[in-house]
Amino acid sequence: MVNKLRKKFVITAMLSLLVILVIMIAVINIANISQSVRDADNLLQILTTNNGFFPGMLKDNNNQQPPRPDRPLGFEHLNNMRSMEMPYQTRYFWVRYDSSGNILEVDVNHIASVTEDAAKEAATEVISRGKEKGFYRSFRYRLGNNADGTQILVFSDLSTSLVNVYKLLLQSLLIGLFTLIAMFILVFLFSGRAVAPAVESMEKQKRFITDAGHELKTPLAIISANIDVLELEAGKSEWTSSIRNQVKRMNSLVKNLLTLSRMDEERMHVVYSDFDMSATIKETAASFGAVAESTSKKYVTDIEDGIHITGDKNAINQLTSLLLDNAMKYSDEKGSINVHLSKEKNITLEVSNTTDYMPSGNLDRLFDRFYRADSSRSREKGGYGIGLSVARAIAQSHGGDIQALKDGDRIIRFVVTLPTQLPKNLQKIAAK
């Protein structure tokens, strides 16, 4: 149980960290891409509104010297230097059109990787798209309109920015992977301390249930023996029958509590063997026929013959008894109860019953310990809210599971799915 709790803690912590890292990496890279596109659009806006040139490029700037600031690494100085160097760092070309859509001029002097013919080909393809701006291969383009009716189509090379985008993505993924590995090691090492208080509380609870269960067995046995003596001497009466029924209920409760406790401690004595499950279910189901008849309930069994399973015969018998007992208790007056056993890929045991009260919300809560959908009705029927918990524990101990399903507003079905062969981890236990 401790290992399961540690495993859940580690998985929960790692999944939480993974979600945070994925969101952070996505936000950082999306923001980086968006910023690169915005910078390119701003640059293209400058070029299209200045006839394909940066402001001041046509002037003689040879004698201009950048100022010598007091803070050479200050933001203002760096931003000024960036603006001054932008015309010499930007790789771009442009194509100018007249008002009739004919090419007037092509400028590829600011880029080495594009020829004049390639520029015309790119411009023709972009014009055919009918969009003012967008991407063409590794270029960002923008179409500008001049006052004289001419148009200028400017392409800015983003290959350097795209390489930086890929680098940042790769670096962030590597950092995220390293963080996950480091976090996994730390969480795994400290998970024992993290779950220690919960483990201690659970151990105390299990120890109390086990000790109380064993302590209750003795007085219950004595009470039962005394009832036998009283009935021999004075005969049966309403009071002795009532006491005997309550002793029976208490014995059933203690048995289920001890079963849950042993399963929690993973030391339940389970004997796995191949047996005829069809015959076992039929035998168990037959024992409830008289109960159904005495309460005027319709009882239908549909059990396929010849189904074998590798498991614990007594546990499967207990599982079936718990489901049938639950159906008998909570089915409506003169209702119907159905038992179905079949085999396809897996073995399916289904017990359904009609009911006047359908639990609301998630039916999976019915398998929680001590959970009762209707407390007053459970007390009336003698339920403690642990029978279905035991049923799920038995199903899971055989590598299967159990579900509660609704059929309309009046029928509830409990479906147990079991593999014909034990999973590998249970085969190792069976082999010991």
Percent pLDDT > 90 in the chain is 37
pLDDT at 376: 45
Yes or no: say if 155 and 139 are a contact pair by the CB < 8 Å rule.
Answer: yes
pLDDT at 425: 64
Average pLDDT, integer, range 406-428: 81
- Would you say residue 188 lies in a domain? no
Residue 371 has pLDDT above 70, yes or no: no
- Would you say residue 215 lies in a domain? no
Query: Domain check: are 293 and 424 in the same one?
Result: yes
Burial 271-307 (b: 16+ CB within 10 A, else e): ebeeeebbebbbebbeebeeebeeeebebebebeeeb
pLDDT confidence bin for 35, thresholds 50/70/90: very high
- Edge-to-edge strands, sheet with 298-303: 298-303, 336-343, 347-354, 411-418, 401-407
**What total of structural domains would you count in the chain?**
2
Q: Measured between alpha carbons, how far is residue 292 from residues 69, 165, 327, 357 in Å? A: 97, 72, 10, 19
pLDDT confidence bin for 53, thresholds 50/70/90: confident
pLDDT digits (tens, 9 = 90+) for 282-319: 999 998 888 888 888 899 999 999 999 988 898 899 89
Which of the two residues, 1 and 22, has the higher pLDDT score? 22
Tell me, what amino acid is at 245? N
What's the CATH code of the domain at 150? Answer: 3.30.450.70
Tell me, what amino acid is at 151? Q
Residues with Cβ within 8 Å of 352's Cβ and at least 6 positions away in sequence, in order, are 327, 337, 338, 340, 407, 411, 412, 413, 414
Q: Single out the residue of 316, 285, 288 nearest to residue 301, CA to CA.
A: 285
pLDDT at 26: 95
Q: Single out the residue of 231, 224, 285 nearest to residue 252, CA to CA.
A: 224
Yes or no: say if 184 and 14 are a contact pair by the CB < 8 Å rule.
Answer: yes
pLDDT at 377: 46
- Single residue among 157, 189, 208 that ends a domain in this structure: 157
Residue 426 has pLDDT above 70, yes or no: no
Average pLDDT, integer, range 217-234: 84
pLDDT at 182: 94
Q: How many Å apart are CA 138 and CA 126, to the nearest integer? A: 13
pLDDT at 260: 65
Q: How many Å apart are CA 215 and CA 260, to the nearest integer? A: 17
Give me the chain's average pLDDT, please. 83
- Would you say residue 169 lies in a domain? no
Instruction: Please return the burial class of 326, using the count of CB atoms within 10 Å of its CB with bins 0-12, 13-18 and 19+.
Output: buried
Residue 33 has pLDDT above 80, yes or no: yes
Residue 401 has pLDDT above 70, yes or no: yes
pLDDT at 379: 47
Q: How many Å apart are CA 249 and CA 52, to the nearest integer? A: 93
Tell me, what amino acid is at 125? E
Range of the domain at 109: 90-157
- Would you say residue 180 lies in a domain? no
Average pLDDT, integer, range 341-349: 92
Residue 70 has pLDDT above 90, yes or no: no
- Would you say residue 125 lies in a domain? yes
Which of the two residues, 9 and 31, has the higher pLDDT score? 31
pLDDT at 126: 92
Beta bridge mates, 103 = 97
Coil, strand or helix: which one is 399? coil
Other CB atoms within 10 A of residue 16 CB: 11
Coil, strand or helix: which one is 276? strand
What's the CATH code of the domain at 273? Answer: 3.30.565.10
* Unique residue bearing structure tokens 């007594």: 314
Q: Single out the residue of 326, 336, 354 nearest to residue 300, CA to CA.
A: 336
Least confident piece of the model among 93-97, 118-122, 194-198, 297-301? 194-198
Other CB atoms within 10 A of residue 72 CB: 9
Which of the two residues, 182 and 264, has the higher pLDDT score? 182
pLDDT at 266: 52
- Single residue among 157, 186, 204 that ends a domain in this structure: 157
Percent pLDDT > 70 in the chain is 83
Other CB atoms within 10 A of residue 351 CB: 25
Q: How many CA atoms lie within 13 A of 382 on its CB side?
A: 15
- Single residue among 157, 178, 207 that ends a domain in this structure: 157
- Would you say residue 254 lies in a domain? no
- Would you say residue 286 lies in a domain? yes
DSSP structure string for 208-221: HHHHHHHHHHHHHH
Residue 116 has pLDDT above 50, yes or no: yes
- Would you say residue 40 lies in a domain? no
pLDDT confidence bin for 212, thresholds 50/70/90: confident
